[in-house]
Copies of this chain bind each other. A is one copy, B any other.
């Protein structure tokens, strides 16, 4: 991929592609029993599907922290007609995680009294996200998935499927993920959470009738983007280039207050953009879920595993995928771990077609 293409990727990450339209559908669960003991009532699971179900060709795709059910859009490098997850051959399903804000029940949803949950929304775990997907699987009549897969937070859900429900998971592909967050990963999430919690508009989470804590959410998202790229990706894209306003390069002296580096402009754009489509409470709930998740063993699992990682991903470094691979081998499972040498940082799992695609075709070949 050229720098030009990478640039386009980075800036268009948020845009919704029209190439693979899929209607947003909803599955209802009367009562969802959470690990915490709390029962969540009248739960909605928003999901999308691509392709046709033929009995043993269903693939469940799990999204990352800022993702949604429109997998063919955010994972267009992997999912689509003729692609590694070929929608001409496979029946592809992706649901919005509970706790989120893209159709599934989350803090901004209405509770039994018809009021938005806000601070009364319960803690959610990765295990709970998967239990919700179990309900969805039953609703769709899918007893066994050909594959459950995902990157980053999506990878944790895929691990939890293979750990807890391996009879329903033939293949499990986990990319750029971890069995449990390290202190540094928790630290990055915590600073993003604090940006929200310390925003004066947060009001303990009950801000829906007032101004939303958009400043804090934007800062949290900017921090996320810092952690998704690598030093070399930042450098090849932005270096110390100055922002060009209105098509005219500003040739004035760099010490003037109003000068901006392109990297500054990029981060602010990403932060602003995110606040238009994401709810701060959902970020708190979902980021806490992944920080607290820990898979200590895959003992008893019968799934076949593929782990992929990226040499430049310092947020989910390769040794975390290696650890998962060793966990799978110790459990007597078939497993492959491929460490992919690409310079794009954590975002590589969204950008790479070639290496993940090759490993995936091998995994899914009969």
Binding site for B on A (CB under 8 A): 35-36, 123, 125, 180-184, 186-188, 190-191, 194-195, 198-201, 215-216, 218-219, 222-223, 226, 229, 231, 234-235, 237-240, 253-257, 259, 261-264, 267-268, 271, 291-292, 294, 314, 317
- What residues of chain B lie closer than 8 Å to A237, measured between beta carbons? 183
Given known A-B contacts A36-B253, A253-B36, A256-B36, A314 and B231 have beta carbons under 8 A apart: yes
Are B123 and A256 touching (Cβ within 8 A)? yes
Are A190 and B223 touching (Cβ within 8 A)? no
Given known A-B contacts A188-B226, A226-B188, A231-B314, A198 and B183 have beta carbons under 8 A apart: no
- What residues of chain B lie closer than 8 Å to A267, measured between beta carbons? 187, 190-191, 194
Are A226 and B187 touching (Cβ within 8 A)? yes
Given known A-B contacts A198-B218, A200-B200, A235 and B182 have beta carbons under 8 A apart: yes
User: Within the complex, which residue of B183, B194, B291 is in contact with A219, where a contact is CB–CB below 8 Å?
Assistant: B194
Given known A-B contacts A125-B255, A201-B200, A187 and B219 have beta carbons under 8 A apart: no
Are B223 and A268 touching (Cβ within 8 A)? no
- What residues of chain B lie closer than 8 Å to A255, measured between beta carbons? 35-36, 123, 125, 292
Chain B residue at smallest Cβ distance from A215? B198
- What residues of chain B lie closer than 8 Å to A219, measured between beta carbons? 191, 194-195, 198, 216, 219
- What residues of chain B lie closer than 8 Å to A35, measured between beta carbons? 255
> How many Å lie between the Cα of A336 and that of B235 in the bound state?
26
> How many Å lie between the Cα of A222 and that of B215 in the bound state?
17
User: Within the complex, which residue of B182, B195, B294 is in contact with A231, where a contact is CB–CB below 8 Å?
Assistant: B182
> How many Å lie between the Cα of A95 and that of B199 in the bound state?
35
Given known A-B contacts A218-B198, A268-B194, A123 and B257 have beta carbons under 8 A apart: yes
The minimal Cβ–Cβ distance linking A192 to chain B, given in whole angstroms, is: 9
- What residues of chain B lie closer than 8 Å to A190, measured between beta carbons? 222, 261, 263-264, 267-268
> How many Å lie between the Cα of A365 and that of B263 in the bound state?
43
The minimal Cβ–Cβ distance linking A179 to chain B, given in whole angstroms, is: 11
The minimal Cβ–Cβ distance linking A51 to chain B, given in whole angstroms, is: 36
The minimal Cβ–Cβ distance linking A352 to chain B, given in whole angstroms, is: 21
Given known A-B contacts A36-B256, A191-B222, A256-B123, A231 and B198 have beta carbons under 8 A apart: no
The minimal Cβ–Cβ distance linking A87 to chain B, given in whole angstroms, is: 36
